C-alpha cells in the first residue's frame, strides 16, 4: 500500500521510515525538486539513537506532482506552510493525518471537505541532517485521534510497530492541548537561548523560566487539575529528547519563520480571553518574533 507524505522535514522522513519497515510504500512529496531527486537516487537514511544507519529505498516527488493517487496522506509540514495546502480540498476522497506542533491548523482542517481527518502529535526527537538523512535522537510515541470520521485505527495499523509505538486518544482536545503545553514551554526557550532540550533541565535559570512558562500555559488552557502530572511529563520529555534541538530553534538558526504564533501566540490569546496575565509568555513571544524578523 502506498501512503503519501507531504513534507520532507525530520518528521516526514521519520514517518516514511516507519512506514517502510511496516511494509508500506511511502511516497514523499517535497518542497524542492532537489530533495525529491536526492531521495530517489540515494534512498532514505535513518540513523537510530545508537548512531547506527539504515538505508531504505523510497519514492519521492516534488509537491507539484501530487495527484491524490494515494488513499492515505500524512501532512507533516510546519504550521507556517499549512496555508499553502488549500489544493488538498481538490482531493476530498483521501484520508488525511495531520502531524503538527501548535493548534493553528485546526481552523484549516475545519474548512476542509474531507470526511476522514485525523490529527496526531509526535513525541519523538529527530533532526534532518540533509535531504536524505534523519537522525533519531529521542524515542517517544505518536498519539493519534480522529478529528472527523473514524480512521484513527486505520492509521494505527499503518504506523504501529516495535520501533514506533502508536497510541490512540479518544479525545483529541486532551491530546492536542497537552502537547501544546510541552511545545510552549520548550520550543521558544530553546530558540531564544540556543540550547538543546536537555539544557533546560541542567541550567538553573532556564529551568526557572520554563517553570514560569508552564504555570502560565496550564492556567491559560484550563489544565490546572493536571498541573502535577503534566509537569512530570514535561520533565520526562526533556530528558528523553535531551539532545534534540527543537524545531523552533532550528527555524531560527536557518533563518526560517517559526511556529511561535501557533504555539505561544495561541496561549496568549486564550489568556486574554480569561483575563490572565502571561508576562513570561509575552516576553518569549516577542523575543522569538524579533528573531523571526531578523531572519
What are the sequence ranges of the domains in the chain?
A: 2-170, 174-294
Q: Give residue-wise pLDDT tens across range 67-122.
A: 999 999 999 999 999 999 999 999 999 999 999 999 999 999 999 999 999 999 99
For residues 186 and 238, is the Cβ–Cβ distance under 8 A?
Answer: yes
114-151 pLDDT, tens digit per residue, is: 999 999 999 888 889 999 999 998 888 899 999 999 99
Which grid coordinates belong to 40?
Answer: 530517489
- For the record, the C-alpha cell of 102 comes out as 501548535
Rg of the chain on CA atoms, in Å: 18
Q: What is the DSSP letter of 28?
A: E
Q: Which residue has the cell 532537489?
A: 34
Range 154-160 contact pairs with CB under 8 angstroms and sequence separation of 24 or more = 154/72, 154/95, 155/72, 155/95, 155/97, 155/118, 155/120, 158/1, 158/3, 158/19, 158/22, 158/24, 158/72, 159/15, 159/18, 159/19, 159/22, 160/22
CATH class for the region spanning 2-170? alpha beta
CA atoms of 53 and 71, how far apart (whole Å): 30
Q: Which of 44, 160, 172, 78 is nearest to 119 (CA)?
A: 172
Q: Is the pLDDT of residue 295 over 60?
A: no
Alpha helices in 23-74 (DSSP H): 33-42
Q: Is 27 helix (H, G, I), strand (E, B) or coil?
A: strand
Q: At residue 163, does pLDDT exceed 70?
A: no
pTM for the model: 0.90
Q: 34-76: per-residue pLDDT in tens?
A: 999 999 999 999 999 999 999 999 999 999 999 999 999 999 9
Which residue carries 527555524 as its cell? Answer: 251
Residues carrying an active site annotation: 179
Q: Tell me: the pLDDT tens digits for 187-246?
A: 999 999 999 999 999 999 999 999 999 999 999 999 999 999 999 999 999 998 898 889
**Cα separation, 218 vs 227, whole angstroms:** 7
Please say whether the beta carbons of 18 and 159 come within 8 A. Answer: yes
What is the pLDDT at residue 292? 87
**Topology of 174-294 in CATH?**
1.10.1040
Amino acid at each position: 500500500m502506498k501512503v503519501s507524505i507531504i513534507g520532507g522535514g525530520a518528521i516526514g522522513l521519520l514517518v516514511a521510515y516507519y512506514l517502510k519497515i511496516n511494509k508500506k510504500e511511502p511516497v514523499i512529496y517535497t518542497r524542492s525538486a532537489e530533495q525529491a531527486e536526492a531521495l530517489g537516487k540515494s534512498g532514505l537514511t535513518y540513523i537510530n539513537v545508537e548512531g547506527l544507519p539504515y538505508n531504505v529505498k523510497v519514492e519521492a516527488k516534488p509537491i507539484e506532482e501530487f495527484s491524490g493517487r494515494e488513499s492515505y496522506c500524512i501532512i507533516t509540514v510546519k504550521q507556517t506552510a499549512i496555508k499553502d495546502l488549500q489544493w488538498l480540498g481538490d482531493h476530498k476522497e483521501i484520508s488525511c493525518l495531520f502531524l503538527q506542533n501548535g493548534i493553528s491548523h485546526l481552523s484549516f482542517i475545519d474548512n476542509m471537505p474531507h470526511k476522514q481527518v485525523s490529527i496526531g502529535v509526535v513525541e519523538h526527537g529527530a533532526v534532518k541532517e540533509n535531504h536524505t538523512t534523519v537522525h533519531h535522537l529521542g524515542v517517544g510515541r505518536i498519539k493519534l485521534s480522529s478529528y472527523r470520521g473514524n480512521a484513527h485505527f486505520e492509521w494505527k495499523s499503518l504506523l504501529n510497530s516495535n520501533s514506533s509505538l502508536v497510541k490512540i486518544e479518544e479525545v483529541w482536545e486532551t491530546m492536542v492541548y497537552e502537547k501544546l503545553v510541552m511545545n510552549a514551554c520548550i520550543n521558544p526557550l530553546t530558540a531564544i537561548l540556543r540550547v538543546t532540550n536537555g539544557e533546560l533541565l541542567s541550567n538553573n535559570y532556564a529551568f526557572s523560566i520554563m517553570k514560569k512558562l508552564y504555570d502560565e500555559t496550564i492556567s491559560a488552557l484550563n489544565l490546572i487539575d493536571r498541573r502535577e502530572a503534566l509537569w512530570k511529563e514535561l520533565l520526562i520529555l526533556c530528558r528523553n529528547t535531551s539532545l534534540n534541538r527543537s524545531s523552533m530553534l532550528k527555524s531560527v538558526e536557518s533563518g526560517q519563520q517559526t511556529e511561535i504564533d501557533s504555539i505561544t501566540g495561541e496561549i496568549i490569546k486564550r489568556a486574554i480571553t480569561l483575563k490572565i496575565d502571561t508576562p513570561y509568555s509575552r516576553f518569549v513571544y516577542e523575543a522569538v518574533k524579533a528573531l523571526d524578523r531578523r531572519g
